[in-house]
Amino acid sequence: MYSRVPTASSKPDPLAVYGRIVARDRALLALLAEHYLLSTDQITSALFDGRRTAQRRLTILHRLDVLHRFGRSTAHGRHGPLLYTLGPVGMQLHPTTYHDPDHPGARPPRSSLDRARRIAASSKINHLLGVNQFFTDLIATARATPGADLSRWWSEQHATTVYAQSGIRPDGHGIWTTGGTSTGFFLEHDNDTENLARVVAKLRGYERLTEFGPRYPVLFWVPTRRREASLLGVLAGLRTASPIATAVHGPDPAGRVWTLVSDLTHRRHLHELPSDHGPDAATNPQRFDDW
């Protein structure tokens, strides 16, 4: 019997890439599987200490087919930072993932490139980036603040599925913890594109949710002071089981920026908003750091 070791194959090892994926890469892939896409700046805020380090690692992951990336163009050239989503290897690690922001019930994509095309062509891409900015800003605050933690971040599809009985469709759901206080919330990211009557109509589902689920504050994150004043005027005197708060888009959603509709006298930090976990108190939210 021959015991001679055969010569090494000249073909690249298709499994070698998996040995190059580190814990931080896996955290990024989990975020992209749940939330479709993130910009270079959002990834840097969430996972890296510097933009150049982030860009270098993202370039490596792109060349290894772990990620797809694309830019957006105008008549004057590319607009904004590069956007990243799951590549072929990323999809292999996350075979069941949200795959179509415009049509959640659509057939799964045939490939990672098909999924990336759906995301790049989505009419919701600016809205998705706005929602993801809110949450990556929270993650950045948590990284810089001892005792702070974004222990849950669910996408619209995730929260809609979990709380389907109520019919809510929040743009995102999170649990924010700081100083021993844990605050759940539902995000309604507003770009001043819907009339206020339609915005207020969203509260019906949250009222149904309080009959069997948590009573988390509903956060209306709006683009201008004028929009906020108009919304507060419509909501004034409205009695709801869920707390309602408003704030204007800014870099610190955890800060003292929130106005409770039931108390307009001063602004509050996110962790100061009233929050009743109800049945959710028995759950064990997955920490972002463990992804």
H helices of 153-261, in order, are 156-162, 196-201, 203-209, 225-235
Tell me the pLDDT tens digit for each residue of 125-163.
Answer: 999 999 999 999 999 999 999 999 999 999 999 999 999
Domain map (residue ranges) of the chain = 16-123, 127-290
Quickly tell me which residue has 């669910």 as its tokens. Answer: 154
| DSSP 3-state of 118 | helix
pTM of the model: 0.91
Q: What is the pLDDT of residue 180?
A: 87
Give the CATH fold of the 16-123 domain: Arc Repressor Mutant, subunit A (1.10.10)
User: φ and ψ at 282, to 5 degrees?
Assistant: -85, -5
Tell me the pLDDT tens digit for each residue of 201-241.
Answer: 999 999 999 999 999 999 999 999 999 999 999 998 888 99
CB 80 within 8 A of CB 39: yes
Tens-binned pLDDT, residue by residue, of the chain (291 aa)? 556 776 655 667 778 899 999 999 999 999 999 999 999 999 999 999 999 999 999 999 999 999 999 998 655 556 678 999 999 999 999 999 999 999 999 999 999 999 999 999 999 999 999 999 999 999 999 999 999 999 999 999 999 999 999 999 999 999 999 988 999 999 999 999 989 999 899 999 999 999 999 999 999 999 999 999 999 999 988 889 999 999 999 999 999 999 999 999 999 999 999 999 988 775 544 444 433
Q: What is the dihedral of CA 256, 237, 173, 281, to 10 degrees?
A: 90
* Strands (E) located in the chain: 38-39, 67-74, 77-86, 149-155, 172-178, 181-189, 218-222, 244-248, 258-260, 263-268
Quickly tell me which residue has 């415009």 as its tokens. Answer: 102
Q: Tell me the one-letter amino acid at 245.
A: A
Smallest CA-to-CA distance from 243 within 205, 216, 277 is with 216
